[in-house]
Structure 1
Amino acid sequence: MSRDRIDRRRFIQTAGAAGAALLAGCSADEVDSPTDTTDPTDTTSTTVGTTDRSSDTLVVATYSSFIDAVSTSPGGWIKQRFESEFDADLVWQTPPNELDQYIQRANADVEIDADVYVGLNVDGLIRLDENLEQDSLFATAPDLDGTADIKDGLNFDPQGRAVTYDTGYISLVWNATADGDEFVAPETFDGLLESEYAGDLIAQNPSSSATGRAFLLHTIQAKGEENYLGYWADLQENDVRILGSWGDAYSAYGNDEAPMVVSYSTDQVYANRAEQDMDRHQIRFLNDQGYANPEGMAQFANSDSPELARSFMEFMLRPEVQAEVAVRNVAFPAITDAEFGEEHAEYEQYAQVPPEAVSFSYDELRGNLQGWIEDWSRQIAGN
């Protein structure tokens, strides 16, 4: 289950406006999930729309928070807009184990009644390719209108299955009202090690939090594979606090337990919506960088409606759709020319893009990611 992602939506759904200010952005926040914990024949899911399958029905699999928070999720808007234009029924499918459910079903030779998957990331693709025992779960993406406009560096699938539709950026969120309005977050990774910031940072465990995993990867980018564990040891010496999930970390930050937390650069979007003090929601891109967490979509190889699936993927890349999905998913468009319009001017103002986006590629992560996390867990979490 996507623990971090669920935590983030619950702030919106249960805490009201004040809690909304604690929800810090992109919903692409998921934990590593084992591929052997769910019955592959279990078809439990949330379905929106008709369940009758016909040639004008498109079944789209995704994570639950993409559709279940009416005020912030893009699913309802996408369904209404797509159905009205294409004279088709769009059915959302949200299995409890997300992508792993389809890996298990494929390995068990159980039919997959879905056409498109929305919400892939590089970690999921690696997990797929390492665990799938059958032929490819996803087809190579067809030539789509709009792919030429995807920003450089966001395409994360070397096999050409996943097409990026949005991204988020990991940053620090910091409280300028701390220390009698004197607190200022450091500008670099090295700055976090200075004694004046002892005990001031809350991070997340990379083995259980996608936010924490991205921050770990950013430290490896910044310090190198040979030096990142030494850097984390220095962070421990400076009393970094490591919690299990984004929700735990951000709750602690919201309760003034520390003036800095690892989070997302869309934090001010929610702060603005809830009319919060923006001084408590400052963004810091360490080393002038943000670690990118792009999300992608892919067509299932055995789709019953490949042409409709293609139309849907092109629809998702349109400039006006890109803007609406980004706003509702509290993320950033994948394309360079998204059309926000005046109604989303505040979003453009408060969603902050880093001077430089960094990330590891699929090839760099496959065969290394799990080892990096395990080494971190032995040395850092074990102490």
Structure 2
Amino acid sequence: MAHPHLALVLAALFLLMGCEEQQQQKARPTPTVEVITPEAQTVPNIIELAGRVQAIRIAEVRARVNGIIEERLYEEGTAVEAGDQLFQIDPREMQAMLNAAQARLKRALATARNAAQDVERYRGLVEKQAISQQEFDTALAQLRTARADVELAEAQVQSAELDLEYTRVVAPIDGIAGRAAITVGALVRAADGTLLTRVEQLNPVYVNFSQSSSDLLALRARIAAGDIDLPEDEKFPVELTLENGSVYPHKGYVDFRAMSIDRSTGTVQARAQVPNPDELLLPGMFVQAQVTAGVRPDALIIPQGAVIMKGQGASVMVVGEDRKAISRDIQVGSMREGNWVVLDGLEPGEQVIVSGWQDLRGGTQVQVVQPGASQQKDARGGDQP
């Protein structure tokens, strides 16, 4: 049988522990959190894609006649205009061929004139029956042959003139002339199409990028559901971010979208045309493209600091019934001026905790204040007036 004094001591101890626990619960304050109530608004639907810069036009300058390079007449890496001479090929052989063609033309013209005179003379004789009809027909045939020889000689002169002109190698387009692929004194051949240099037009430029087929299907589904409104002209503006993080000052637009999926990569190719007046964008440069594919008429925007990023995705803490904090998984889209665009998981009018969620667990009861109210409260010295 237990001693009566021991029972009294144990009862007093339990009573004391219960009082301390109640005092601790009363002493623990309710966490104060700042909340916002996002409302639906219209925001651009921005798709971020990686891209590469490509010259809008690339012309390979190749030899069109055989010969020796006499001179390079441009400075490598500088701007040239269409028609500017880049190289000079030794023209002497082409000039000699032109001289020979012109001589053949003169001889053909002389032969044709003689044949025409014979026909006129034979015409009067055949009418007087001084010569036979067969002799007259032969003279007519010789005239036709002579005239055909004139046409052939004229074509040979034109061909020789072109070959002589091709010894002056000119830029076919405006652009930047690259490094010379041959040196002065090198032999070039028309049959091989010897590459001399390249001219690239850099204003404007193309930016090539690709979008996964799954993202494309999701985009089309949102458009069909009315979550995204497209512009009537279906021109999608494009902004670029350079490799150093700076924003490119000129905007472009999407001018090409492939109608098939690349089997090897499972992506759809697209292309944007972007102004490049300062030639800041160079072929092969890596950029981040922000494509504005319509607008979201009922989008929700929340501050970046309210979003909890984990390996499984994004989530926020919202204030539910009885002012209890609840963890909510969301899907975020693009970032706009330090705010996330919420694609799914949040409804308009819900209270989203933007400050004070770090030490909360699901089910914790909280005290709600508007953003900035807690700082004002601390500045006044707590609850003191």
Q: Please classify the TM superposition score into its range, dividing by the shorter chain length.
A: under 0.3
Larger C-alpha radius of gyration, 1 or 2? 2
Q: Could you state the TM-score of these two structures normalised by the residue count of structure 2?
A: 0.18
Q: Which has the higher strand share?
A: 2
